[in-house]
């Protein structure tokens, strides 16, 4: 596996790979890798892509400086995991490679409702920072395919819209959420959960699965109310639990409102904020 820190070195390698007829599959990450991230690499390998994984803790997408400071960083372990994934190239750029001093790369796209609700409402500025860095990394890496996790469903929806609006020459591949055996979605933040909160956290996925059963029988508002009380009963603090159209991310009210419904939730588990989602209905 090759490891690059400079854009020019990575780009020279990518150009050669493409010349040799290879496709590039890219998975942007913030490191502290786990099996969920490695699934992105495996999804690329299955399609015969040369997998490139970036590890870059993007300062512009953290609205809380404490969260940025405490974000787990495990570069040595990450490289070891990538080596065995197997990944073709790791890309660990310093900040000035991603954001060259004096250049304003910030992206100002109108995402309509996509970036206003849910995470957008609770983490102001987060999606502007995320879209900017993904656009920048795509411009550097120039992959054929971009691999992202369903775990961050709203993020993925926004990136899909960005690709459409900017007409970027890349195909987006959604990789299903990898979970712990008890259902908790894998996340780099899970290592920061206290033992009590780690024990409480599987209630998130349980609630999502139960919500799916209830949604067939009751209005979304009732499901939402039930889910809030269920999450609280488990000792978690729900921020939102929304049933939305899986494309527009607009709220649905009843089962027949949309063919494709996703429930998205964010909870505080003590100090740690966790997100998850599950498809409630897919009639496509
Ligand atoms: P992050 O490092 O958390 O920014 O995530 C980098 C990429 O990995 C994003 O596309 C995430 O959606 C994806 N990802 C994170 N956790 C999981 C998971 N448990 N299962 C699948 N993909 C994931």
Query: Mean pLDDT, to the nearest integer, of 208-222?
Result: 97
Note the pLDDT of residue 102: 94
User: Residue whose CA is closest, atom 17 of ligand 1?
Assistant: 36
pLDDT single digits (tens) 124-134 = 999 999 999 99
Percent of the chain past pLDDT 90, that is, above it, reads 94
pLDDT at 261: 98
Q: Tokens standing for 70? A: 């405490």
Say what the pLDDT of residue 154 is: 98
Query: Can you give the pTM of this predicted structure?
Result: 0.97
> Which ligand 1 atom sits closest to the C-alpha of 37?
8
CA dihedral 249, 253, 255, 260 (to 10 degrees): -10
Pick the atom of ligand 1 nearest to 149's CA.
Answer: 12
Phi, psi of 42 (to 5 degrees): -65, -40
Where is 51: in which H helix or E strand? Answer: strand 50-55
CA of 57 to the centre of ligand 1 (A): 13
pLDDT at residue number 81: 97
CA 145/CA 46 separation, integer angstroms = 12
CA atoms within 13 A on the CB side of 154: 29
What element of type H or E holds 268?
Answer: strand 260-269
63 pLDDT band (50/70/90 cuts)? confident
Q: Which of 31, 38, 86 is nearest to 55 (CA)?
A: 31
The per-residue DSSP string of 158-173 comes to HHHHHHHHHT-S-EEE
Q: From 25, 28, 29, give the residue whose CB has the most ligand 1 atoms within 8 Å, as the site to mutate.
A: 29
- pLDDT tens digit sequence for 87-105: 999 999 999 999 999 999 9
Q: CA 215 to CA 217: how far, in whole Å? A: 5
- The model's pLDDT over 104-150, given as tens digits with 9 standing for 90+, comes to 999 989 999 999 999 999 999 999 999 999 999 999 999 999 999 99
Tokens matching residue 32: 């502290």
DSSP-assigned beta bridge partners for residue 55: 29
The pair of three-digit structure tokens given for residue 123, joined into one six-digit string: 């983490």
224 band by pLDDT with thresholds 50, 70 and 90: very high
| pLDDT score recorded for residue 108 | 87
Cα-based distances in Å from 161 to 90, 118, 215: 26, 17, 28
What integer is the mean pLDDT of 13-21?
A: 98
Question: Does residue 187 have its Cβ closer than 6 Å to ligand 1?
Answer: yes
Q: Is 151 a pocket residue for ligand 1 (Cβ < 6 Å)?
A: yes
- Which of 26, 40, 42, 74 best tests ligand 1's pocket when mutated (most atoms within 8 Å of CB)? 40
Q: Residue 175: CB within 6 Å of ligand 1?
A: yes
Candidate from 152, 176, 179 with most ligand 1 atoms within 8 A of CB, to mutate: 152
CA of 146 to the centre of ligand 1 (A): 12
| Catalytically active residues, by annotation | 37
């Amino acid at each position: 596996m090759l490891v690059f820190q400079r854009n020019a070195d990575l780009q020279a390698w990518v150009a050669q790979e493409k010349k040799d007829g290879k496709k590039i599959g890219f998975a942007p990450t913030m490191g502290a890798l786990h099996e969920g991230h490695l699934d992105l690499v495996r999804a690329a390998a299955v399609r015969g892509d040369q997998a490139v994984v970036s590890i870059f803790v993007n300062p512009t997408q953290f609205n809380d400086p404490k969260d940025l400071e405490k974000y787990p960083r495990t570069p040595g372990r990450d490289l070891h995991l990538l080596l065995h994934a197997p990944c073709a190239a790791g890309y660990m750029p310093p900040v000035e490679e991603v954001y060259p001093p004096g250049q304003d790369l910030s992206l100002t796209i109108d995402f309509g409702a996509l970036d206003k609700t849910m995470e957008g409402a609770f983490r102001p500025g987060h999606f502007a920072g995320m879209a900017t860095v993904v656009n920048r990394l795509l411009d550097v890496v120039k992959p054929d395919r971009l691999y992202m996790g369903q775990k961050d469903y709203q993020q993925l929806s926004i990136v899909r819209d960005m690709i459409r609006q900017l007409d970027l020459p890349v195909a987006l591949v959604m990789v299903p959420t990898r979970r712990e055996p008890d259902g908790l979605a894998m996340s780099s933040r899970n290592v920061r959960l206290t033992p009590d909160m780690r024990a409480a956290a599987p209630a998130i996925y349980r609630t999502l699965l139960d919500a799916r059963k209830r949604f067939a029988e009751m209005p979304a508002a009732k499901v939402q109310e039930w889910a809030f009380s269920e999450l609280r009963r488990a000792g978690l603090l729900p921020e939102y639990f929304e049933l939305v159209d899986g494309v527009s991310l607009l709220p649905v009210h009843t089962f027949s409102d949309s063919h494709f419904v996703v429930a998205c939730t964010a909870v505080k588990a003590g100090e740690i904020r966790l997100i998850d989602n599950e498809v409630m209905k897919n009639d496509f």
